[in-house]
A and B are shown apart, each in its own frame.
Chain A
């Protein structure tokens, strides 16, 4: 009897204390919590680990990182997020998976946290985050399901987001008397000239599946092509799409040996180790070229806008972070995301050798890094419809385009019939998934 009475007073006392005490800072309530982050083993994220240490020191929230090769993330995350109680409190997705994650109900809408005053940092300034990045990585359910639009909701914050710019070797261009290409005609002429001089011109991803498709998409948008028209009819056999495939073939022919085996890592390594004169892909190459552990070409690299074809259109891609619906520590996870993407966090990422997501960070550091002003100028061209971020995209990307484009870059067969066949396959998939029921 006595002991029960004692326990009761202690409990009541504890309750009184906990309700009565005001917290000294917004993080105190979550001190000692451990959150688990799933993200890719890429340069930007490796650098972010130092910022995580600072986060833990400042907030008392422990963070465990599970870093995987980036294309392996999806399997692992889907598996964890489909359990009743998942391991992961934060997942970082490649923007092309956002539709699938949300349609399966696996993510928490961030509005849940933005309505909690105690969690939201008033100085965060979400409008400062590059709009293209935020829309592309974080907003789901807008126009066509993945583009900006009134029906969209926010599920993630960009972190390690990107667009594409051209990186080139200033020394080689000078030696060969080549001007920096501003259009696709100039680019193709430069590739041909370098090819004749025996210098591997441009590196590119080209491995069967996702990688070769990513390489081709980089040229599709600026040359005026698209994957679907407005009624979801595939148009990957249009003259523009065929021209983009032709450009891919020329790149494979004039570029470094082995493009049909290159994933992201191999394609970047070829440029960073001096085996290619140009790199037209993610802006991540700039920070990587400054890292002595990765690069032999630091100081020799110039940056320019993604060349223009019939319009300007650069990549929208990279990663965004969000919170799984089955996370056990959602509020602490939100605080982590907010910290990492705050103005201060963004600036620290730049200092650590990562890539910023905020316009103010790009502006404040433009003197230090020549690529930042290029990126700031490139961002308005970033095409939100660069690729359709629909759940069916994976199958189209890997099974249809990934196969067809391999045929384009590894054989001499005429391109049009290859793309015609791919278009038919794409149509069959869309038909199967019920996209034409409204017509």
Chain B
């Protein structure tokens, strides 16, 4: 069979323009390698050494897997991992619910919707450091507004919000919801507005009531957007540290110390850079695992027909 086919025309090995696409992607590739991969590789490399700032990296003793072995048996690492998971669960659940609800409410062209939309996304525009400072002073036990108004309006005794393990955890969850609900809101409302109106109309004609419309028509149609929002928030939870660093520094105890803040404290407060790098590798592995899992469950790139 194949013999009957005309012999393929021998192509020159290097056609003119063969290298052109590579030339075009080279800059991006270099940026990727230099900016993204190099630090990750260095973190991995550093995790095999016992290094402190102020000494030469070349002189740092090689310790093999010691840092990883120590990490696996270190109760503090598991403690902060548990804090991070609890933090992620509460913030993401509430943010997703609130964000989607708000988006559905403000989707219709009601009077003043644009004003509300602007107000709702204000927290997103504030830098995390400023967010931390604002809420640290609002929650302050001695001079904070929250204690003042709770006392003045409801007669509630002043609470040490940031100095009690449970209350401090509540405070950082609350702050995170305040800052990041708008993010879900803005993404979801963009998705809702891009929905083809025919489908919604058709469902109305078919007699779908409001909750059927939301749960059977609208939300399934923006599923891929919800997955992306969820994924970004999940990664943020594992990366986030600025707000907690400023509000509580991880305290009291380790009750608000998220994994990345723990890495920061290990690396810079107690100068165990090798050990901190080993925990960073764990962090990368966790985030990579979660992302892969979510993307295999619902890959928004796989079919673009549902947008």
**Which residues in A have some Cβ–Cβ distance to B below 8 Å?**
75, 78-79, 81-82, 100-101, 104, 106, 206-209, 256-261, 266, 270, 275, 394-395, 398-399, 403, 406-407, 410
Contact = CB atoms under 8 A, between A and B. Distances in A.
B63 to A, nearest CB: 11
Interface string B176-210: 00000000000000000000000000000000000
Contacts of A399: 269-270
Contacts of B272: 395
A410 B162 contact: no
B142 A257 contact: yes
A410 B164 contact: yes
Contacts, number: 82
B251 interface: yes
B299 interface: no
Contacts of B160: 257-261
Interface string B116-146: 0000000000000000000000001110000
Contact of A394 (B140, B141, B249, B271): B271
A79 B253 CA distance: 28
B270 A261 contact: no
A82 B159 CA distance: 44
A208 B142 contact: no
B240 interface: no
Interface stretch (B29-37, B52-60, B100-108, B286-294): B52-60
Contacts of A398: 265, 269-270
A408 to B, nearest CB: 11
B53 A207 contact: no
A260 B54 contact: no
B165 interface: yes
A270 B53 CA distance: 36
Contacts of A207: 249, 251
A75 B268 contact: yes
A261 B162 contact: yes
A216 to B, nearest CB: 14
A403 to B, nearest CB: 6
Contact of A260 (B52, B55, B164, B268): B164
B140 A258 contact: yes
A258 B141 contact: yes
Contacts of B265: 398
Interface of B: 52-55, 140-142, 147, 158, 160, 162-165, 248-254, 265, 268-272
Nearest to B159: A257
> In this complex, which of B160, B165, B270 has the most chain A Cβ atoms within 10 angstroms of its Cβ?
B270
Contacts of A266: 142
Contacts of B253: 208, 403, 406-407, 410
A118 B162 CA distance: 55
Do most interface residues of chain A lie in helix, strand or loop, or is the interface mixed?
helix
A81 B56 CA distance: 12
Nearest to A425: B76
A398 B248 CA distance: 14
Contact of A104 (B54, B140, B252): B54
Contacts of B147: 257
A209 B163 CA distance: 13
Given A258-B140, A260-B162, A260-B163, 12 more contacts: A106-B54, A208-B252, A209-B250, A258-B142, A260-B164, A395-B270, A398-B269, A403-B253, A403-B254, A406-B251, A406-B253, A410-B165
A86 B164 CA distance: 42
> In this complex, which of B160, B249, B252, B253 has the most chain A Cβ atoms within 10 angstroms of its Cβ?
B252
Nearest to A72: B268
Contact of A261 (B53, B55, B163, B271): B163
Nearest to A79: B53
B269 A208 contact: no
Given A260-B252, A410-B165, A104 B270 contact: no
18 contacts: A78-B54, A79-B53, A81-B54, A82-B53, A207-B251, A208-B252, A208-B253, A257-B141, A257-B142, A257-B147, A258-B140, A260-B162, A261-B140, A261-B141, A261-B251, A394-B270, A399-B269, A410-B252
A398 B140 CA distance: 23
Contact of B55 (A82, A258, A275): A82
Contacts of B53: 75, 78-79, 82
A106 B55 CA distance: 9
A121 to B, nearest CB: 32
Given A207-B251, A275-B142, A410-B252, A100 B54 contact: yes
A113 B13 CA distance: 72
A260 B252 CA distance: 7
Contacts of B141: 257-258, 261
A372 B135 CA distance: 40
Contacts of B158: 257
A257 B146 CA distance: 14
Nearest to A411: B165
B61 to A, nearest CB: 12
Nearest to B163: A260
Contacts of A104: 52, 54-55
Contacts of B270: 394-395, 398-399
Contacts of A257: 141-142, 147, 158, 160
A428 B223 CA distance: 51
B166 to A, nearest CB: 10
Nearest to B168: A261
B142 A270 contact: yes
Contacts of B251: 207-209, 260-261, 406
Contact of A208 (B52, B55, B249, B271): B249
